[in-house]
Amino acid sequence: MSAEEKLKELNLELPEAPKPMGVYKPIVFQGSIAYLSGHGPLRTDGTLIVGRVGEDTDLEGGYDAARQTGLALLSTLRASLGSLDRVKRVVKTLGFVNSANDFVDQPKVINGCSELFAELFGPEIGVGARSALPSNTLPGGIAVEIEMIVEISPE
């Protein structure tokens, strides 16, 4: 099943592809590699999930924020590629979690995004290398920020 078909089967709704909030491009292509800038947990209504995990929200809330961030990344990919079916491989994700000082489960939070990609693309394509790091704050107070590198197929 293609990624686009799987997206429909899972009844996933992508937010509008986010616009840059500074001097950068949301996605840059170099050959068959797409580099996606850090994205936040953008909802379909245009709002962002904010707060510190372990303080303002719990692990489940952080996981949901990471999943929503994954949807925002997919939205940028789809808007730029025309179809998620052009994704050949998730190469790497780098996740930052706006964490309370004593919160240590950043990998479990970023699983929200990683499990989404595995579900959508399958484990061979959707699971890549990954880092999950704490942050004492993130832009606008967002709960999670994730960037990624993806291999794509030609048009």
- Residues 124-150 pLDDT 10s: 999 999 999 999 999 999 999 999 999
| Higher-pLDDT residue of 7, 155 | 7
Tokens (6 digits) for 51 = 């707060």
Summary mean pLDDT of the chain: 96
Between CA 42 and CA 40 the distance in angstroms is: 6
- Calpha distance 28→20 (Å, rounded): 13
Q: Which strands, in side-by-side order, build the sheet including 27-30?
A: 27-30, 33-39, 144-152, 87-98, 129-135
Three-class DSSP category at 76: helix
Confidence label for 1 from pLDDT (cuts 50, 70 and 90): confident
Q: What is the pLDDT of residue 15?
A: 96
Q: CATH second-level architecture of 38-152?
A: 2-Layer Sandwich (3.30)
Q: Which amino acid is at 53?
A: V
CA distance 10 to 105: 27
Domain boundaries, the chain: 38-152
Structure tokens at 19: 């616009």
> Does the pLDDT of residue 117 top 90, yes or no?
yes
pTM recorded for the entire structure: 0.96
Cβ neighbors of 40 (< 8 A, separation 6 or more) are 18, 48, 49, 69, 72, 138, 139, 140, 142, 144, 145
- In this predicted structure, the answer to whether residue 155 has a pLDDT above a threshold of 80 is no
